Amino acid sequence: MLHIKCPHCGMRSQNEFSYGGDASVKRPELGKEISDQDWNNFVYNRKSLRGKHWELWQHLSGCRQWIKVERDTATHEIFKTLKANEEIS
Amino acid sequence: MSQSFRLENVGLINKNKKLSFKFNGKTYFGYEGDTLASALIANGIHLVGRSFKYHRPRGFFGAGVDEPYAIVQLFRNGETEPNIKATEQELFEGLEAKSVNCWPSVNFDIGAINNFLKIFLPAGFYYKTFMWPKSFWYKVYEPFIRKAAGLGVASIKHDKERYEHKYEYCDLLIAGSGPSGLASAYAAAKNGARVILAEDKARFGGTLLTSEVNIGNKSGKEWAEGIISELKEMPNVTVKNRSQVFGYYDHNMLVMSERISDHLPETKKFHPKQRLWYIRAKEVLISSGSIERPIVFGNNDTPGVMLSSAAKEYLKVYGVLVGKNPLIFTNNDSGYETAIEFKKNGIDSIILDTRKDPLSEIVEEAKNLGIKIKFSYVVVAAQGYKKVKSADIAKLSDDKEQLGKIENIKCDCICVSGFWTPTIHLASQSGNKTKFKEDIDAFVPGSSKQKEKTLGAANGIYTLDETLKSSFEAGHEISKKITNNDNKISFPNVVEKKSTTHDKFWCVPLPKGKNYKRFLDFQNDVAVSDIEIALKEGYRSIEHVKRYTTLGMATDQGKTSNLNGLQLVSKIENKVVPNVGHTTFRPPYTPVSIGAIVGREVGKHSKPTRKSPMHSWHEKNNAVFVDAGVWLRPRYYKKGDENLFEASKREAKNVRTNVGVCDVTTLGKIDIKGPDASELLNRVYTNAWLKLPVGKARYGVMLREDGIVMDDGTTTRISENHYHMTTTTAQAANVLSHLEYYLQLVWPELNVNVVSTTEQWAGAAIAGPKSRDLLQKIFPNSDVSNEGLPFMGYMEGDLFGVKARIFRISFSGELAYEVNVESDNGNYMWEKIVENGEEFRIQPYGTEALSTLRIEMGHVAGSELDGRTIPYDNSLEGLLSKKKDFIGKRSLVREAFNAEDRQKVVGVVPLDKKTSIPEGSHLVKDSNAPLPNPKLGYISASCWSVEHDNPFSLAILKDGKNMIGKKLFVMSPLKNKVIPVEIVSSHYVDPKGERVRS
Ligand SMILES: [Zn+2]
């Protein structure tokens, strides 16, 4: 079970969180023209990387905040966690 | 039989407490402190089971966790449990156990015929032999294997025992209480660290209980006892025996299984049987020791052949002789210790040492005691079927490839020592990259991935002095890092016998003309010849060889077999062992009971139960409940001996003719506040929300980004910047997360807050033509006329002193309202509604009637909004705004979503107006078409229409919009039904929607 540092609450066990996918995905702006290809990439296509990966988690059974977590998908090492409004560096 | 193999005045057991127990139906006696194994051996019992494949007789091989043979079926307090190691099961009064994998009995086992048919059971036999002819698998092979094989029977009864889970945090978890565990725990604890020390066995101390050493002028055992009693007194230390740390998971989470009651005849009141500990440790010290390796020789699985360390443990801990005429077969000094213990108790043994007269303190001692030693000698084969009777021995040539003349000597047991294998399972599970240590012929932990360190014998350190020194130091260093304290313990003086190097000899060659089975894996019956076949057939990777031969795949995970298997592969392949590599160790280290894994989450405890504030009223009024997610909802209210069908029909009919009341507390409710609340709704819902007036409700549909309908519900504008959103019961949690996702990550500029208020409001739906009359009666001061409170209107009212929210919304298609009050007043509201509704013939209705009403009026719900349908499919395309963008809109232009014959919701009526249509049935054009019959659609929901008094269903049907009036067939192969039906509009009742506006 992973041990994730919620930037709001501190170290908590994985079972308080739910996984939310790739954090680098940006939703296209509302009302803007977008090609089928770009839209499909946003909705369906994910890289499923092996290695360092920024991903979203929600502290569901805690502060309910969505957070960004930099995790190695192969080793589960967590390098950094950020609040929703903090930019991935 | 008396305990003829028990010694007087030896052992750590309590001879003052005699215990009776049964094995295979016969009564025996042992003592408190015995294991089932030690008690059986004391009684001269060595035949305990049959081997897995060849059904050869099996006895005891070890004295603890490494035991591959002695697995029994245990009976305790009316329960039965399989896969119990006799070497680990402590004896209690009244214990009963039976042999497994034998039929009809352990003495006469029909499967033993496999032993003579072994030519048919070589490596890969599961893959080869049983593959053809194919039809034989079900009729012949499988029933045969099932009957004759297996390691016990799982109980099919409900387990009445209690199992618990516990979460714990510590600075330092130490797995194993041998010398390294005790030393490191003591040093760390004295330095202020929060320590958990776990010991698998009942007794602390590990090898200190059996080795002849001296620490600080005390015997090893006394020193261990002193340390343990001191640790137990310290507030920062938790000491646990009968506790196996069996799994090392990510981020230093370890799981430990504590056997609290397994050693007692029955579990004490209010005690659990076992407890599973989830331990998050800052640092972990692995002090799991080492396991003695066997030497491979002919018939080395015969009962009476066992590890020499086990023989010593039975003697020193339990006061039990494994034999009275022992033969010791060793390649190192350890075998001598066992021989010396035998000698001290008046038993003369013969030592066969593969080495040439090595110079060693302990060999000298054995010589001085007059123990007979044959150097450069090996056991070629054990003789005897159900117990060792003699051994064929021979002199080994200098190159260790040739055997001299075979001699036969009498013996009743063969104690084997092939040196020691560090127990690296936990380290390996943690992700540690293990490395091969040449001088001990075994793998040891290498570079750490997590915060762990391995100590003592588990790290390949086999001298006590070095083990204690390095362990004291490790405990001190690690605790210093955590606590910043620097309290050092003075190091005790250690006296131990010096050992010399072992002989890298592990497998005795076969004598000419003999074809003895030489076993590597004793639990899965894998012999040297099986590995040879696998390699001959082209298997190279050790992982493949393992799976093909099943080497190391039994419940003991190859604790005694892995290294010898690797030695063999490396020898045949002419590679060094580290290049062969070893297979991955995975948790659990030892079998864990399913009960412990499940814990308290059994039956009703497997999930929380949510009840509405009106629950007790429902109970008192004969409600029959149904699980709706985690909620309990009344399904119907039983009158007399009504069944579900009759009751729900009565309730639904009463809504259509008079008035009904339904508990809708479970609907998800989300309070939305902030200046941008309207904007959020406008982006989340498919229809327009910016111009909804205060005091009005609107029906809305929300999509996922892929265009699939996520949820629907009504949202009401309470005030300028305040909305009350409702969701379906099932999607309530997901919708809240969905809103939080967009507010926190996608549109943080929106100034809005959302919070779940599902449990803050109790809700009652009042539906039926007389609902307004009733509403007027309970809100005498409010204008609830059609003008005062029109369809989709909202107002606040006073319900006999309680503040209420009144929504004019309808799920049933009738004139209907929903009243919400604060949860604490829910029951009060409900009673007032029922009391005042009497004159209008009010009846409560449950979820079954609720479904009937919504189905026949064509209101889509969860069974249509099933994560596979878009708005068009549900005839909700009218709610798609063309003027604005919203979540998922861009996906709706996809080609498939706009196909001419796109599926759509329709109504379905059986032609005979009688036959009920099973939900999930398929719609086809021709009921006699050849299979696979093309499916045109499926039945999503069925009811008995109370309006038309015939069955009615909703279906999602291909080209639904052009199918109205067509005749099709409903097919349900599961229910064996073919029903001719007509397709009708999904709005079977009040298609113009006049009633809700009346
Ligand atoms: Zn948090």
Q: What is the pLDDT of residue B111?
A: 61
Q: Could you please report the per-residue DSSP string of B487-525?
A: -PPPPPPEE-PPP-PPP---BPPPPTT-----EEETTTT
Query: CA of A89, closest CA in chain B: separation in Å?
Result: 16
Contact A18 B737 (CB under 8 A): yes
Residue A38 placed within a domain = no
- A1, A30, A60 ranked by CB distance to B253: nearest: A1
Confidence check: pLDDT of B719 > 90:
yes
Residue B236 has pLDDT above 90, yes or no: yes
Residue A77 in any domain: the answer is yes
Chain A hits for B706, CB-CB cut-off 8 Å, are 43-44
Same domain, B327 and B305: yes
Question: What are B285's two structure tokens?
Answer: 């010290």
Q: Which of B768, B495, B759 is nearest to B655 (CA)?
A: B768
Q: Are residues B35 and B82 in the same domain?
A: yes
Cα A69 to averaged position of ligand 1 atoms, centre (Å): 12
Q: Residue B801 is which amino acid?
A: G
Which of A5, A17, A76 should we substitute to test contact with B (largest number of B Cβ atoms within 10 Å)?
A: A76
Closest residue by Cα to residue B563 from B394, B479, B687, B442: B442
Are residues B318 and B451 both part of a single domain? no
Residues of A in contact with B748 (CB under 8 A): 84-85
Same domain as B980, residue B851: no
Tell me which of B345 and B544 has the higher pLDDT: B345
Specify if B136 maps to a domain: no
Domain with residue A20: its CATH number is 3.30.2270.10
Distance of alpha carbon B534 from alpha carbon B400, whole angstroms? 25
- Does residue A45 belong to any structural domain of this protein? no
Q: Structure tokens of B522? A: 């004793």
| CA pair distance A17, A6, nearest whole angstrom | 9
Q: Does residue B211 belong to any structural domain of this protein?
A: yes
Mark whether B442 and B460 lie in a shared domain.
yes
The 10s digit of each residue's pLDDT in A12-57 is 999 999 999 999 999 999 999 999 999 999 999 998 899 999 999 9
What distance in Å separates residue A85's CA from the closest CA in chain B? Answer: 7
Q: Does B737 touch chain A (CB under 8 A)?
A: yes
Q: Which of B277, B449, B744, B894 to mutate to test the interface with A (most CBs of A within 10 A)?
A: B744
Count of structural domains within chain B: 6
In chain B, positions 142-201, which contact chain A (CB-CB < 8 Å)?
167
Tell me the average pLDDT across B865-884: 97
B contacts of A19 (beta carbons < 8 Å): none
* Contact assignment for A31 to B885 by CB distance below 8 Å: yes
Using the 3D structure, point to which of B78, B97, B125 is the last residue of a domain.
Answer: B125
Instruction: Give the confidence band of B153 by pLDDT, cuts at 50, 70, 90.
Output: confident
Distance of residue B750 Cα from the nearest chain A Cα, in angstroms: 13
Q: What is the domain count for chain A?
A: 1
Domain around B980: 899-997
pLDDT in tens, B805-830: 999 999 999 999 999 999 999 999 99
CATH number, residue B697: 3.30.70.1400
* % residues pLDDT > 70 (chain B): 95
Q: Chain A partners of B431 at a C-beta cutoff of 8 Å?
A: 75
The pocket of ion ligand 1, defined by CB under 5 A, consists of A 6, 8-9, 59, 62-63
* H helix or E strand, kind and range, residue B668: strand B668-673
Between β-strands B350-353 and B326-330, what pairing exists: parallel, antiparallel or unpaired? Answer: parallel
For the residues B661-679, what does the mean pLDDT come to?
A: 97
Is residue B186 in a domain? yes
If you measure CA to CA, which chain B residue comes closest to A35?
A: B890
Out of B252, B740, B885, whose CB is closest to A64? B740
CB contacts under 8 A, B 656-695 vs A, are 683
* Alpha-carbon distance values, B878 to A57, B690, B701, B858, B873 (Å): 35, 17, 11, 15, 12
DSSP bridge partners of A9? none
Spatial CB neighbours of B809, under 8 Å, sequence gap ≥ 6: B697, B699, B714, B792, B816, B817, B818
Give me ligand 1 centre to Cα A70, in Å: 16
Residue B485 clears pLDDT 60, i.e. is over it: yes
Q: How far apart are CA B896 and CA B872, in angstroms?
A: 12
Give B807 Cα–ligand 1 centroid separation in angstroms: 35
Minimum mean pLDDT among B105-114, B390-399, B461-470: which range? Answer: B105-114
CATH number, domain at B452?
3.50.50.60
Is B545 a domain residue?
no
pLDDT tier for residue B492 given thresholds of 50, 70 and 90: very high
Q: What residues of chain A lie within 8 A of the CB of B252, using their CB?
A: 3
- List the single residue in A44, A65, A76 with the smallest CB-CB distance to B744: A65
Listed residues B387, B418, B449: the one ending a domain: B418
Angstrom distances, CA of residue B587 to CA of B425, B590, B801, B815, B864: 8, 8, 62, 61, 43
Distance A65 CA to ligand 1 centre (A): 6
- Strand B326-330 versus strand B71-76 pairing type: unpaired
pLDDT at B108 (0 to 100): 67
**Quick check: B148 pLDDT over 60?**
no
Please state the rounded mean pLDDT for residues B867-880: 97
The full DSSP string for A22-61 is ETT--PPPTT----HHHHHHHHT-----SSEEEEEEE-TT
Please write the tens of the pLDDT for every residue from B565-574: 889 989 888 8
Average pLDDT estimate for B743-759: 97
Q: Write out chain B residues lying below 8 Å of A39, CB-based.
A: 890-891
Contact (CB<8Å) B251/A76: yes
- CB neighbourhood size of B127 (10 A): 10
Residue B544 lies in a domain: no
How close A33 comes to chain B (CA, Å)?
9
How confident is residue B115, by pLDDT bands cut at 50, 70 and 90? Answer: low
Residues of A (13-52) whose Cβ lies below 8 Å from B: 13, 18, 20, 27-28, 30-31, 34, 39, 42-44
Q: Are residues B167 and B316 in the same domain?
A: no
Nearest to B745 among A3, A39, A66 (CB): A66
Quote the distance between the C-alpha of residue B295 and its chain's center: 36
C-beta atoms of A75 and B278 within 8 A: no
Residues B855 and B809 in one domain: yes
Residue A16 Cα to ligand 1 middle (Å): 9
Label the pairing between strands B390-395 and B290-292: unpaired
Interface probe with B: pick from A64, A67, A72, A75, most Cβ of B within 10 Å: A64
User: Token digits for B852?
Assistant: 């009937």
Find the CB nearest B740 among A1, A39, A66: A66
pLDDT higher than 60, residue B119: no
Residue B98, judged by CB atoms within 10 A of its CB (0-12, 13-18, 19+), counts as: buried
Residues B315 and B369 in one domain: yes
Ligand 1 center to B168 CA (angstroms): 20
Asked if residue A46 is part of any domain, the answer here is no
- pLDDT, tens only, B939-984: 999 999 999 999 999 999 999 999 999 999 999 988 999 999 999 9
**Does residue B237 belong to any structural domain of this protein?**
yes
Cβ contacts of A75 on chain B, cutoff 8 Å: 431, 449
Instruction: Compute the distance from residue A3 Cα to the ligand 1 centre, in Å.
Output: 12
Q: Sheet of A52-58: strands edge to edge? A: A18-22, A52-58, A66-72, A78-83
Range of the domain at A82: 1-24+51-89
- Residue B307 confidence (pLDDT) above 90: yes
Mean pLDDT of chain B: 93
Taking the CA of residue A70 and the nearest CA in chain B, the distance in Å comes to 15
Q: How confident is the model at residue B113 (pLDDT cuts 50, 70, 90)?
A: low
Q: Spell out the residues 6+ positions from residue B156 whose beta carbon is closer than 8 angstroms to its own.
A: none
pLDDT score of B123? 61
Residues B102 and B22 both lie in one domain: yes
**Residues B164-178: pLDDT tens digits?**
999 999 999 999 999
Orientation angle between helical segments B732-741 and B677-684, nearest 10 degrees: 110
Mutation site for B-interface testing, chosen from A3, A18, A30, A65 by largest number of B Cβ within 10 Å: A30
Could you give the count of Cα atoms lying within 13 Å of B496 in the half-sphere of its Cβ?
22
- Longest CA pairwise span in chain B (Å): 114
CA B821 to CA B796: how far, in whole Å? Answer: 10
B891 close to B706: Cβ distance less than 8 angstroms? yes
Q: Where are the alpha helices (DSSP H) in B754-901?
A: 771-778, 826-837, 847-856
Both B95 and B224 in one domain: the answer is: no
ipTM: 0.98
pLDDT of the residue at B56 = 86
pLDDT tier for residue B146 given thresholds of 50, 70 and 90: low
Task: Residue A38: list chain B partners with CB under 8 A.
Answer: none
**Angstrom distance (rounded) from CA B793 to CA B789:** 5
Distance CA B755, CA B998 (A): 34
Q: Are residues B199 and B282 in the same domain?
A: yes
Q: Exposed, middle or buried: residue B790 (CB in 10 Å: 0-12, 13-18, 19+)?
A: exposed
pLDDT tier, B109 (very low <50, low <70, confident <90, very high otherwise): low
Question: Do A60 and B737 count as a contact with CB atoms less than 8 A apart?
Answer: yes
Q: What integer pLDDT is reported at residue B116 of this predicted model? A: 56
Answer yes or no: do B45 and B190 share one domain: no
pLDDT-derived band at B137 (thresholds 50, 70, 90) equals low
Mean pLDDT of B326-342: 98
**Closest listed residue to residue B927, CA positions, set B978, B889, B991:** B978
Tell me whether residues B744 and A84 touch, CB distance under 8 A: yes
Is some CB atom of chain A closer than 8 A to the CB atom of B749?
no
Answer yes or no: is A29 within a domain.
no
Interface probe, candidates B450, B745, B885, B895, chain A, greatest A C-beta count within 10 A: B745
B302 falls within a domain: yes
Cβ A30–B683 below 8 Å, yes or no? yes
Instruction: Please tell me what DSSP assigns to residue B917.
Output: P
